Amino acid sequence: MGSQTTIVLIDDDQDACELLKMQLEGTGRMEVTYTTNSDDALVIIEDKRPDIAILDINMPGTHGVKIAESLAANPVTADIPVLYLSGMVTPGEVHDLAKGDGQPPLISKGSPEEELIGAIDKLTSA
């Protein structure tokens, strides 16, 4: 595979962003841009047009679900897949939620790294 998977990550916690950046870029085939200010999310995603957007849900600025809705409503970003990453739910609930129609899939912050990478691969391979 010649090209890298480009990822924009929105999470209000700097440490979370740093960790994910390190883990994902550690695979050697992903490139992560992040911001901890969710109000900048739409601008950055529209600008970068990444292969996937990973969104935290509960954030002090714009709410993750709101960002996902705005992305879907914007023709420029509508085809960018979204993955929620949240501390709100258990791995079991993630599984159930993922079955819901039209909802972006969701990964718990407690899930192992492999699961996250697997989910990204699945969403970007289509």
Partner 1 sequence: MQNTFSHTILVVDDNALNLHLLTTILTGAEYTVLTCGNAEEAQEITDKSSPDIILLDVMMPGMDGFSLCRELKQNKRFSDIPVIFLTSLSQQEDIVEGFNAGGSDYIVKPFNRQELLARVRNHIRLHDMLMENKRLTRLSEDASRSKTEFLASMSHEIRTPLNSIIGMAEVLSETPLSREQQQFVSIFRSAGESLLEIINDILDLSKIEAGQTELEAIDFHLSSLLDSVVSILSVRAAEQNTRISTYLAPTVPDAISGDPTRLRQILINLLGNSLKFTENGSVDISVQTDSTDTLLFSVEDDGIGIPPDKQKLIFESFTQADSLTTRKYGGTGLGLTICQKLVTMMGGKIWLESTADLGSTFFFTYPFQKAVNSPLPAAEKHNPPISCELLPTARILLVDDNEDNRNLLCLYLRNTPFLIDTAQNGLEAVEAFCRNSYDLVFMDIEMPTMDGYEATRKIRRWENSEQQSATPIIALTAHAFVRFRNKCLEVGCSDYLTKPVRKNTLLQTIHTHLNIQPNAQTAEKEQEAPPMKPDTQDLPHVILDAKIRKLIPRFLENKKADIVRMQETLESDKYEELKKQAHTVKGTSWMYGFKSLGDNCLKLEKAAAAGDRKLAEHLLTEVAVYLDTVIIGYRSPDSKNDSGE
Q: According to the binding rule CB under 8 A, does residue 96 interact with partner 1?
A: no
Binding region for partner 1 (CB under 8 A) out of 2-10, 41-49, 54-62, 64-72: 54-62
Instruction: Supply φ then ψ for residue 5, to 5 degrees.
Output: -80, 120
Q: Give 3-59 as a DSSP string.
A: SPEEEEEE-S-HHHHHHHHHHHHTTSSEEEEEES-GGGHHHHHHHH--SEEEE-SS-
Q: Pick between residue 37 and residue 58 the one whose CB is nearest to partner 1.
A: 58
* Binding test (CB under 8 A) with partner 1, winner from 18, 31, 40, 121: 18
Check binding of 118 to partner 1 (CB under 8 A).
no
Q: Is 44 in the site for partner 1 (CB under 8 A)?
A: no
The site string for partner 1 over 19-38 (x = CB under 8 A, - otherwise) reads: xx-xx--x------------
Closer CB to partner 1, 18 or 40, in the complex:
18
Residue from the set 108, 119, 120, 123 that interacts with partner 1 by CB under 8 A: 108
Say what angle helices 14-25 and 113-125 make with each other, to 10 degrees. Answer: 70
Bridge partners of residue 108, in order along the sequence = 86
CA distance 47 to 33: 11
Q: Which is nearer to partner 1, 60 or 118 (CB)?
A: 60
Backbone angles phi, psi at 86, to 5 degrees: -140, 150
